Amino acid sequence: MTDILIRRDGHAGRITLNREDALNALTHEMCLALETALDGWKNDPEIALLIIDGAGDKAFCAGGDIQEMYDTGKQRDFTYGDRFWRDEYRLNAKLFNFPKPVVTFLHGFTMGGGVGVGCHGSHRIVCETSQIAMPEVSIGLVPDVGGSLILARAPGRIGEFLGLTGDRMDAGDAIFAGFADYYIPRAHWPALIFNLCNTGDWDAVDALAQTPPDSRLAAWQPDIDAVFGGQSLGDIWRAIPGDPPDALAHAQKLMNRHSPLSLSATVGLIHKVRMSDTIEAALDQEFRFTSRAMEHGDFVEGIRAAIIDRDRTPRWRHATWQDVSGADVLRMTYPTDPPLDLTGETP
């Protein structure tokens, strides 16, 4: 069985992530196959729109398949990771800039690499099971796959909150934060996909959209904005009051688990991306960190603790955020050589 199903269906280009047992985690080969489809359909007059979904009931895509990242990183071979990220980020840029409507169906878990495939579309649909997150700081990375741009564009300081905590969003939260556009119960999805394929008319999505559930993040925003607007991670930590309200107590609990180096770099990342406000700048800034994360950061240890040994007790390079210096962050974020190239075709 192939890991990704790519086919024409009426007026639509159909892409289904097909690794149900692995929560549709994205492999390098899947990235390249998806990119090839985009290149072929971009100027095809018979393709009116794209439809991207995931097999099974549990996940659209729970992230990137990082087993080979871990295996090569443990051997201090960093070439695979560099190649994977360069290819994946080129795919993310092409999805963001695709000249035709891209309709994505984001059921269950949509995290990390899944955000890069599902949340750059023009018509992003969530349902009652949707759980969307950018949890990269929990494994020693920064929010990537272009997710830093979505975080930078979120209302107020919701982006900093989500990027630093890795907190999960339900359908209401995802729409409020800018990760999704439409709430449509999943029972209606098969008929909608059939209609889209038969007609090529993306207005069918608007016709079925319902009022989304209330957003917890919207209710929390005043408390989040009061704290997460600091210029540095230290500013944010010091702004949390001694008896924090629910939003900030929740944030403290989550942030205490994550890589201090990743947290420190994430604050600057979101601020820089907010000023540039392009997918290209976002991916370039992300790549500066991720391309160095195995050799100089916490990524290998983060994968070990979360995925390999599953002991949930990572031994980060820095014990606390106070131990991270400006030089430590600069080492991870200066320009790369060669720079990230987002203009090429699939290798």
The residues carrying an active-site annotation are 64, 113, 136, 144
CB distance 171 to 124 below 8 Å: no
Phi, psi dihedral angles at 207 (to 5 degrees)? -65, -30
Whole-angstrom distance, CA of residue 40 vs CA of residue 15: 13
Amino acid at 311: D
The token pair that represents 289 in the structure block: 């960190």
Residue 166's nearest CA partner among 106, 111, 234 is: 111
Amino acid at 227: V
Phi, psi dihedral angles at 182 (to 5 degrees)? -130, 140
Measured between alpha carbons, how far is residue 75 from residues 71, 154, 291, 314 in Å? Answer: 7, 39, 16, 19
Respond yes or no on whether the N-terminal peptide bond of residue 338 is cis (omega within 30° of 0). yes
Residue 148's nearest CA partner among 122, 116, 171, 172 is: 116
Residue 264's nearest CA partner among 219, 307, 324, 334 is: 324
Residue 153's nearest CA partner among 333, 332, 282 is: 282
